[in-house]
Structure 1
Amino acid sequence: MTRIAVLQMTAGTDPAVNGAIIEHAAADAARGGAAMLFTPEMSNVLDRDRTRAARTIRAPEDDVALRAARAAARDKGLWIALGSLAVSHAQSGWANRSMLIRPDGEIAATYDKLHMFDVDLASGESWRESSAYRAGERAVTAADTPVGRLGLAICYDMRFPALFEVLGRAGCDTIAIPSAFTVPTGQAHWHVLLRARAIEASAFVVAAAQVGEHEDGRRTYGHSLVADPWGEVLLDMGGDAAGLGFAEIDLARVAEVRAQLPSLANRRGIAT
């Protein structure tokens, strides 16, 4: 049994302030007996004003929130799954990038969000993530974490089942799906999609989320969630406030569910 901590944030536009929140969360997670801390999408800066954001988004090696998280991991001997950071892309534009940090502060894996959130909602909200961010090109997993083999996904990725088939076939025990979900889409689809992804991959899902009214004017849904491989919700942090939650990950449950309902082993290709 592994104890994890899940950070629900109301991130603002200052990476230094957000980095301090992550540092404090790491300390509280360690005090609470967690082996691993999960943070939401855009943990370093959440700012829809692209002109202003350009003044704070940096290359990973220059990002103050990432430096803070790496130092906290070393100081507390804690794994940290930084849900995602807005960072400068090595080629052009920005990347929405997950960073998995080991207890020695080194980066074990990175993943760039594959699916860009380009939508026009009935509420009047319009988002064009692809206008500033470069999409990733591959699925990423990391072995030998406290939660077994960890698959990485980010927010809008959860709407694309093919990615979770890949992660399930890769033998992921746990999948991180950090998010900054809008309120209308969260109310409609958050719980059902996350539970479905856990069920079809026969894996734990850990979805740390942004919540509440943000400095840039947006509002996010919250409800940071942990679901087990059967789709049962182990943690739901609600939609009212930031905070730190804890859950227990029993990797024996993955083997138990896969033995009872071997959908990954029984899956067949379908001719069209």
Structure 2
Amino acid sequence: MSNLLKVSAKVALVQVASGASKPKNLANARNKVLEAASNGAQIIVLPECFNSPYGCDYFPEYAETLLPSPPTKEQSPSFHALSAMAIESKAYLIGGSIPELDTKTKKYYNTSLTFSPKGRLLATHRKVHLFDIDIPGKITFRESDVLSPGNQITIIDMPPYGKVAVAICYDIRFPELAMIAARRGCFALFYPGAFNTTTGPLHWKLQGQARAVDNQVYVALCSPARDMSATYHAWGHSLVCDPMAEVLVEAEEKETIVYAELTGEKIEETRKAIPLYGQRRFDVYPDVSAGRASYDDEVDKILV
């Protein structure tokens, strides 16, 4: 039996397109989540901004209030829809992400909600790294024009399986977040994300494989389906990488559900064959998973 993933888990990535109607988006997500559950999925993942179009112009219009928790149905129809989906599916549900408005601070966030099979909110992750890029002649996008960043790493306990981490899209480009989660005992890293048709073919699969090979854990990326009539063209290609960075399953660009079986044996086998966890040199470089004070102490020791 693995210390990280105690029993095998079947994961489903639900790749859906989101239109202008929030009720239709929620209904479509529900249908696909229940389909995934009927096929035996125990952990089900939705994509980034599954309840709304993706884009800075849309965040304020579609934003929902989540605090204080639980919100009313009027404040957050998506919160209650996700909770109900988790109960109906009897699965852990990583609810992609939704635009959030904090009414106290008047700030907007890109926020992921994870629910237990009993419909209980387990974790809230606000996107930590905002998607601000400028590739000349290709794409310019600035989430920070509207959104504020979150400030925490989100690790979730999912009995009887173990711990997982959830982050959103651009968060995957920052390996420190993944390293910390993996070293704190996560068997998988889940990234609801909406890479586009410029960055997707360049880095989507590469980033998933990189986080997997660096940390010897499973990595799952769940994208919206591509809609060429939308203002933002998602790459699609939701995928799961195993701890050896092999791509176990990959979608195309249309609406679909892809599945993968995660086993603790694969993690153990990988770490035994390539024993990175016993070979790290924290006398040469600091452990980013240590607390801030410990990290500073380690840096000082190395620099002396």
Q: Which runs of 4+ in 1 moved over 4 A?
A: none
Q: Distance in 1 between matches of 2:161 and 2:49?
A: 22
Structure-2 residue corresponding to 1:212:
226
Matched, 1:23 2:30: yes
Residue 255 of structure 1 corresponds to 268
Tell me the matched-pair count.
Answer: 270
Question: Equivalent residue for 2:178?
Answer: 164
- Counterparts of 2:228 and 2:80, CA distance in 1: 23
Equivalence for 2:108 = 94
**Which ranges of structure 2 fall in alignment gaps of 5 or more residues?**
1-7, 286-301
What is the CA–CA distance in structure 1 between the aligned matches of 2:191 and 2:218, rounded to whole Å?
11
Following superposition, the deviation at residue 2 of structure 1 comes to: 1.8
TM-score by length of 2: 0.84
User: Displacement of 1:204 after TM fit?
Assistant: 0.4
Tell me by how many angstroms 1:16 deviates: 1.5
- 251-260 vs 163-172, which moves further: 251-260
Amino acid at match of 1:54: P
TM-superposition CA deviations, 1:200-258 (whole Å, max 9, x none)? 1111011111121266421110000001001011110012x011111111122112212
Q: What's the CA shift for 1:49?
A: 5.5
Given that 1:148 and 1:251 are in contact with CA atoms closer than 8 Å, whether structure 2 keeps it comes out as no
Write the distance in 2 (CA, Å) between the matches of 1:109 and 1:265: 31
Which residues of structure 1 form unaligned runs of 5+?
Answer: none
Q: CA deviation at 1:146?
A: 5.8
Identity score, percent: 27
Moved more, 84-93 or 34-43: 84-93
AA at the equivalent of 2:156: A
SS of the residue corresponding to residue 138 of structure 1 reads coil
Mapped contact 2:17–2:224 kept (Cα < 8 A):
yes
How far residue 148 of structure 1 moved from its aligned partner, in angstroms, is 2.5
Rate the CA distance shift 1:246–1:57 in 2: closer, same or farther, 3 A: same
**Out of 132, 136, 154, which is 1:140 matched to?**
154
Work out the CA distance in 2 between the residues paired with 1:220 and 1:91. Answer: 30
Which amino acid is the alignment partner of residue 55 of structure 1? E
Contact 2:59 2:99 in 1 (8 A): no
**Compared CA separation, residues 85 and 215, structure 1 to 2 (3 A):** farther
CA distance in 2 between counterparts of 1:53 and 1:81 reads 20
Q: Does 1:13 align with 2:20?
A: yes
Mapped to 2, the partners of 1:262 and 1:123 lie a distance apart of 43
Q: Cα RMSD between the aligned structures?
A: 1.7
Conserved? CA contact 1:20–1:65, under 8 Å: no
The Cα of 1:165 is off from its aligned counterpart by: 1.3
Stretch moving more, 81-90 or 35-44: 81-90
Deviation at 1:190, TM superposition (A): 1.1
Note the 1:37-48 alignment, pairs <5 A. Answer: 37-48=44-55
Matched AA of 1:266? Q
Distance 1:228 1:74, change over 3 A: same
1:244 is aligned to 257
1:67 pairs with 2:73: no
Q: CA deviation at 1:47?
A: 3.8
Looking at structure 2, the residues matched to 127 and 5 of structure 1 have their Cα atoms a distance apart, in angstroms, of: 29
The one of 35, 43, 50 aligned to 2:42: 35
Return the offset for 1:153. 1.3
**SS in structure 1 at match of 2:182:** helix
User: 1:268: Cα distance to partner?
Assistant: 2.5
Length-normalised TM-score, structure 1: 0.93
Whichever residue aligns with residue 268 of structure 1, its letter is R
Contact 1:10 1:214 in 2 (8 A): no
- Whether the 8 Å CA contact 1:73–1:102 is kept in 2: the answer is yes
Residue identity in the other structure for 1:203: V
Whole-Å Cα distance in 2 between the matches of residues 250 and 171 of structure 1? Answer: 15
Higher alpha-carbon Rg? 2
Query: What SS does the aligned partner of 2:178 have?
Result: helix
